Amino acid sequence: MFRNLIFVWICIFLTACEREINITPVNKDSRLVVDAEIENGRAPIVVLSKSLNFFTTIDSAELANSYVRNATVSIQEGNTIYPLKEFEIKDTSGNRFYYYSTDPQVTPQLIGQFGKTYKLLINVNGLSYTSETSIPLLTKTMDSIWWKPAPNNDDPKKVVLMARVQDPPGLGNYIRYFTRQNSQAFLPGLNSVFDDNIIDGKTYEIQVDRGVNRNEDVDFETYGFFQKGDTVSVKLCNISKSTYDFWRTWEFNLQSVGNPFSSPGKVIGNISNNALGAFCGYAAQYRTLIIPK
């Protein structure tokens, strides 16, 4: 009887403590979103768009309208300013995409180089935005990649990719990696950026998970694996601290979506004037492996 009475009082107490919270989303003015990069041996790519409100219904028309067109975009290296041209591409479904890059008919051409610093200059509707990044020297490298059967897996065709990486002495060597499976595009890993706080100055072996398309749901039954018969390429990039911070916080927030126990976080970009996004520099090294059938 006494235990039943205690249980009733607990229920009453918990019910009395319930509080209904109604959150009304606030629609804010859109902000400029910058997705820009420059890699050694390649021309820069800059994609400009407008931010969308959280509860916006996103479809192909909404995405197409989010691109920022007719902006004035340039990149400065040293005392030279390289104007960028707007390009349009169309996929097989008829969707149009827009980006800014160097005009192949204009000289001199801007091509990323190791050890150089670049300043991004954007003017949109009378507002100016700037950012700065660098392409580090290629100091942290892969000396080899290989495959081995996937552990604890019943499918004999599944394999894991391994790499041997050399980290130079001295903290502050940040990396981001991508993989390509056969003729697909290079895709970043689910966790694609790493520092060297634990492995400073060491040569180590590590499993390289297959990259993921962030626009699709991740199938954790097959995540990370490659298949026998695949041609696999790994792109290992030395990056700056600002590039590392952007992608580290971006990936943390992406993986926190829908998790009631995660803590909120802020994505750390490097664009001025309250814009979103980042201008990233990549010192890239490539390795390719054919996995036999």
Q: Where are the domains of the chain?
A: 32-134, 141-240+284-290
Domain 32-134 sits in CATH at: 2.60.40
Helix/strand/coil for 45: strand
CATH 2.60.40 is held by the domain 141-240+284-290: yes
Q: What pLDDT is recorded for position 60?
A: 66
Q: What pLDDT is recorded for position 7?
A: 46
Q: Closest Cα partner for 109 from 39, 46, 47, 44?
A: 44
Question: pLDDT in tens for each of the 293 residues of the chain?
Answer: 444 544 444 454 444 545 555 555 555 678 999 999 999 999 999 999 999 876 556 666 777 789 999 999 999 999 999 999 999 998 888 888 999 999 999 888 999 999 999 999 999 999 999 999 999 999 999 999 999 999 888 889 999 999 999 999 999 999 999 999 999 999 999 999 999 999 999 999 999 999 999 888 888 888 999 999 999 999 999 999 999 999 999 999 988 765 655 566 789 999 999 999 999 999 999 999 999 99
Q: Which residues contact 19 (CB under 8 A, 6 or more apart)?
A: none
**Distance of CA 178 to CAs 210, 237, 286, Å?**
8, 8, 10
Q: What's the token pair of residue 269?
A: 């970009």
State how far the Cα of 149 lies from the Cα of 147, in Å rounded to an integer: 7
Quick check: do 32-134 and 141-240+284-290 share a fold?
Answer: yes
Q: What pLDDT is recorded for position 255?
A: 83
Q: What's the token pair of residue 223?
A: 């995540």
Q: What pLDDT is recorded for position 258?
A: 54
First CA to last CA distance, the chain: 71
Helix/strand/coil for 66: helix
State how far the Cα of 216 lies from the Cα of 43, in Å rounded to an integer: 28
